[in-house]
Structure 1
Amino acid sequence: MSQGNHGVEIPRVKLGTQGLEVCPIATLFCNFLSSFSVVLVIKEAFNNGITFFDTSDAYGPYTNETLLGKVLKQLPREKVQVATKFGITFDNFNPKEVKIRGDPAYMGELKKLVEEGKIKHIGLSEASSDTIKRAHAVHPITAVQMEWSIWTRDIEPEIVPLCRKLGIAIVAYSPIGRGFFGGKGITESLPSETVLLCCGCRGCIQGSLKKVKRRTECSTPESRS
């Protein structure tokens, strides 16, 4: 997380040797594991230094928030940061019928929750620069969650400068290209149904990189273990 001016301290780790730093974040996205296994995974993540857990009412739906709540009772709560999201609705839970309810009244209600002490901060996910400005005018935005990696840099022209100006932290998800740059040993060990490698262009990019590798006799980030 790029630190904003809101006093939220998230540990950082370095990726590679070029100075890139990201916050170790656990995203509780899908339910391929049993509830018992999920609890063990969350505990193990915490024991290995991950203190920032990101979830949503749409993950499950609802089950991930419930499981995380159970685990938090067994962890030192003051050492854990939790972010959750809402606003996405599904018609009959069909992914093709996803709708995002961006009602401006949400910000007013969230502001009340902060004032009542029920939540500490307000953040946005996948928001445009215009949305960030309008939301920030109602109540200071603490963080914006966006995809940001070496091949997903859409936020750099407008959103990154805006967040710096407003003192908003950026929570970058998929900083290693949705697993693409995680190393061959890691990506090949994942099950085929996992969403950790969800990238429609993955195959074509791998093919292109292999051609470059043959021509230059260089290894690719994706092929390293």
Structure 2
Amino acid sequence: MNTHLPTRKIGPFTVSAMGLGCMNLSHAYLPRPEPEQAERLLLHALDAGVTLFDTAALYGSGRNEELLGRTLMHRRGEFTLSSKCVLAELDGKRGLDGSPGAIARVLEDSLRRLRVDHIDLYYLHRLDRNVPIEDSVGALVRAVEAGKIGAIGLSEMSAATLRRAHAVHPIAAMQTEYSPWTRNVEIAVLDACAELDVALVAFSPLARGLLAGGVGPEGVAAEDIRAAMPRFQPPHLERNLALAARLEGIAREVGCTPAQLTLAWVLSRGDHVVPIPGTTSSAHLDEDLAALSIEVPAEALARIDTIFTPEAVSGPRYTRGAQAQIDTEVWETEPLA
């Protein structure tokens, strides 16, 4: 699996140091691209050297996996494929189920939609608190033994849960939100991943578009998933845009775009960190990938640290219902919905 981009390790896989999060091609964010545009974006990413593509059973109720299945699998040997279970549609209804039986069913559905018999990296999308993590990981161990998946990942879980899971079977990756304005992994998970040789796969590394100039004072469409997130609502949005403006000033000084500066910051947090920004635009993807080749002075990165302290970012990350499904640590000063 070759790429002209810099590479990093995720378990047994060597991948481009920046992957592609595919969620917004089918799910959650608006405007959503037409299928043909989404297909072009995926192929452009592969041609540009991206070798990590991230999807999930949840995204678009399986439509995102179907999109990757029909678009990329004729070039299956050129990339690492990752997907997720636990959060999914079962019996026509969205739910969270980490039981071994549900995991096995969702995996079979994912294999069918992706048109493959093997998924390289398969995550537990969320922690089902009604099922011991050991039982959920055990179901994936059996999938590894059956040759249906190659490596096991966790998503949005704490360092304590990671250690329990890792005691059952080596965990290849922890996927969680990580950007200057969401730094919860710095409480414990980032260091635990480094200690255990687990990759930290950073989703929403551009703060769900806010640090890439994709959100203005008017906010987002009412049907967009971000509209329900407190940080995108008044009065928090205005305060967070003010932080973004300060980052834009640093980007001008450095001579890059805010998105590139933000991604450079995420990449600087450790060699085991792999960001997976999402986009519907090939031009924006090229802009993001260019962050892999820019050099940002340490002083500029340190200034970002001082701007985006946990106390400075305004508003809870999730609604109360969504936060209940999150196992990651929270700051003592962090507001919760």
The alpha-carbon distance between structure 1 residues 43 and 70, as it changes in their structure 2 partners (threshold 3 A), is same
Counterpart of 1:84 in structure 2 is 83
Query: Structure 1: which amino acid aligns with 2:155?
Result: S
Counterpart of 1:59 in structure 2 is 59
Counterpart secondary structure, 1:130: helix
- Structure 2: how far apart are the matches of 1:137 and 1:118? 21
Tell whether the 8 Å contact from 2:19 to 2:54 is kept in structure 1 after alignment.
Answer: no
1:208 Cα deviation (Å)? 3.7
Task: Give the counterpart of 2:206 among 156, 171, 176.
Answer: 176
Greater CA deviation, 114-123 or 25-34?
25-34
Query: Is 2:159 aligned against 1:129?
Result: yes
The alpha-carbon distance between structure 1 residues 33 and 118, as it changes in their structure 2 partners (threshold 3 A), is same
Query: Structure 2: which amino acid aligns with 1:3?
Result: K
Tell whether the 8 Å contact from 1:26 to 1:45 is kept in structure 2 after alignment.
Answer: no
Query: Structure 2: which amino acid aligns with 1:116?
Result: A
Tell whether the 8 Å contact from 1:28 to 1:59 is kept in structure 2 after alignment.
Answer: yes
1:144-191 CA-to-partner distances (Å, cap 9, x unmatched) read 001111111111121111111111010011222222221x4x556xx8
The alpha-carbon distance between structure 1 residues 167 and 207, as it changes in their structure 2 partners (threshold 3 A), is closer
The alpha-carbon distance between structure 1 residues 79 and 56, as it changes in their structure 2 partners (threshold 3 A), is same
- Structure 2: how far apart are the matches of 1:197 and 1:10? 33
How many residue pairs get aligned? The number is: 202
Counterpart of 2:185 in structure 1 is 155
1:37 Cα deviation (Å)? 3.0
Q: Provide the alpha-carbon RMSD of the alignment.
A: 3.3
Query: Is 2:9 aligned against 1:3?
Result: yes
- Structure 1: how far apart are the matches of 2:226 and 2:77? 29
Tell whether the 8 Å contact from 2:173 to 2:199 is kept in structure 1 after alignment.
Answer: yes
The alpha-carbon distance between structure 1 residues 165 and 93, as it changes in their structure 2 partners (threshold 3 A), is same
Query: Is 2:11 aligned against 1:28?
Result: no
How do 1:89-168 and structure 2 match up within 5 A?
89=88, 99=96, 101=98, 102=128, 103=131, 104=133, 105-168=135-198
Greater CA deviation, 82-91 or 140-149?
82-91
- More RCO (CA 8 Å, sep 6+): 2
1:60-86 CA-to-partner distances (Å, cap 9, x unmatched) read 1011111211122332x2221111011
The unaligned stretches of length 5 or more in structure 2 are 1-6, 99-127, 260-337
- Structure 2: how far apart are the matches of 1:158 and 1:2? 21
The alpha-carbon distance between structure 1 residues 121 and 155, as it changes in their structure 2 partners (threshold 3 A), is same
1:196 Cα deviation (Å)? 7.9
Tell whether the 8 Å contact from 2:42 to 2:72 is kept in structure 1 after alignment.
Answer: no
- Identity %, equivalent residues: 28
Task: From the two aligned structures, give the one with the greater helix fraction.
Answer: 2
Query: Is 2:199 aligned against 1:204?
Result: no
Query: Structure 2: which amino acid aligns with 1:179?
Result: G
1:110 Cα deviation (Å)? 0.7
The unaligned stretches of length 5 or more in structure 1 are 13-22
Query: Is 2:47 aligned against 1:47?
Result: yes
1:96-120 CA-to-partner distances (Å, cap 9, x unmatched) read xx54542332211210111222111
Tell whether the 8 Å contact from 1:209 to 1:220 is kept in structure 2 after alignment.
Answer: no
- Structure 2: how far apart are the matches of 1:121 and 1:152? 26
* Structure 1 moving runs of 4+ over 4 Å: 89-94, 191-199, 220-225
Greater CA deviation, 49-58 or 100-109?
100-109
- Structure 2: how far apart are the matches of 1:49 and 1:207? 32
Tell whether the 8 Å contact from 1:3 to 1:170 is kept in structure 2 after alignment.
Answer: no
1:24-45 CA-to-partner distances (Å, cap 9, x unmatched) read 3232342533333322221122
